[in-house]
A and B are shown apart, each in its own frame.
Chain A
């Protein structure tokens, strides 16, 4: 699908140099009697890259065939992660490359948002907050009640986060999947 410059707005997915981008900011400007100019900032959906582009009124842009679907994480098969469409029971195998760290938040049976580009999975977004069991951390330091003292903890998925000193092995903690930060303790182990 092709777009006109007047379609340009935040959230639109376009294809540039053969890669998918999402527009994160756009502005229209028009010099007095001149041609309208559209300036956009767009983010690459495959890797960390932000581009600034300038278009003139009437330019055509190629849309990116990007679809989103809610799938359930089933299990790990070798190095691939298997996700299932709970309506059609269709399975999608995703390699860690496309997960870009999201695998550290996946629990079996978890509903995740999966982004496809031309039918290929390009990213997986776990829920904003994920609750995980602490598999290992140093014991709570006695007498140290200061809340700003942090220590590393390894969670059940292998994710490493900084947690407060009072956390012990077996605790369930809530983690922010976008920032990778500890949010709060959900229950004591």
Chain B
């Protein structure tokens, strides 16, 4: 696998409703420039250009993220495997953590199964009102109940507050097959109901990675970017510029591949038994 290094400065982005980029000199004639929120776009351009399997350890920047497990500037380990599928890539992440953290085994659970097991709800069928009721029954005291929210907002809230924290921290759990509405740039299955071939690893009480069976269809990229920007506007945020060079590269052809990003600071936290991300980075944010 080839190690690559791509620019930290980006002219366009993978549009994400809830990831706020750090924007630079937005007034220039060529449009906005950003510090990359992840190396996903440039790495996919390399894949489309025929790079073969690649990895990179890169800095990523996300405005407004600060907390026990978050810093606005953090380190990501991201890699892509042409010809590999999402399940094989989950196992590869598991093998890496066997090396780094000494985990023995890992299990794979679908998002749907975990919602059923831990909250007793069918995430495909439950509507917004039912999800809101479950959140209230679980003691999630929402600050502002009156604000209109979508189904996904409730699912995300329940996942973060009632599913993730209830997974045994000593057990590495890959959660996979996310709701199709939360696909980001993962492929969505043709099954009924459809699911997104996206996975996350939860271990030690934290989310360590996010991976996809990568979407290859260029038109679907544009659709998802437009939907994410629409959601941004609905949330009162600025739309961001889609990465046109990524879209052009996908148009040319992204090979079938799976890719994953690992939050490296969190892996270091687990290796050292640190309780705050600030403890594993030498200087404060």
Contacts and interface: CB of A to CB of B under 8 A. Distances in A.
B153 A35 contact: yes
Interface string A22-41: 00000111111111110100
Interface in A39-79: 39, 51-61
B83 interface: no
Contacts of A30: 18, 65, 67, 70, 160
A101 B131 CA distance: 45
Contact of B67 (A29, A31, A34, A35): A29
Contacts of A59: 143-144, 147
A175 B157 CA distance: 47
A27 B143 contact: no
B141 A53 contact: yes
A157 interface: no
A27 B67 contact: yes
Nearest to A40: B143
A61 to B, nearest CB: 7
A29 B235 CA distance: 18
Contacts of A37: 157, 160-161
A56 B67 contact: no
Interface of A: 6, 27-37, 39, 51-61
Contacts of B159: 31, 34
B236 interface: yes
Nearest to B160: A31
A37 B237 CA distance: 16
Contact of B160 (A34, A53, A55, A61): A34
Given A28-B67, A35-B18, A55 B164 contact: no
Most B-side CB within 10 Å, residue of A6, A33, A58, A61: A33
Given A34-B160, A58-B236, 10 more contacts: A6-B64, A30-B65, A30-B67, A33-B17, A34-B159, A36-B18, A36-B64, A54-B140, A56-B142, A56-B144
A58 B235 contact: yes
Contacts of A31: 156, 159-160, 164, 207
B30 interface: no
A27 B184 contact: no
A54 B142 contact: yes
B182 A34 contact: yes
Nearest to A55: B143
Contacts of A61: 143
A55 B144 contact: yes
Contacts of B235: 35, 58
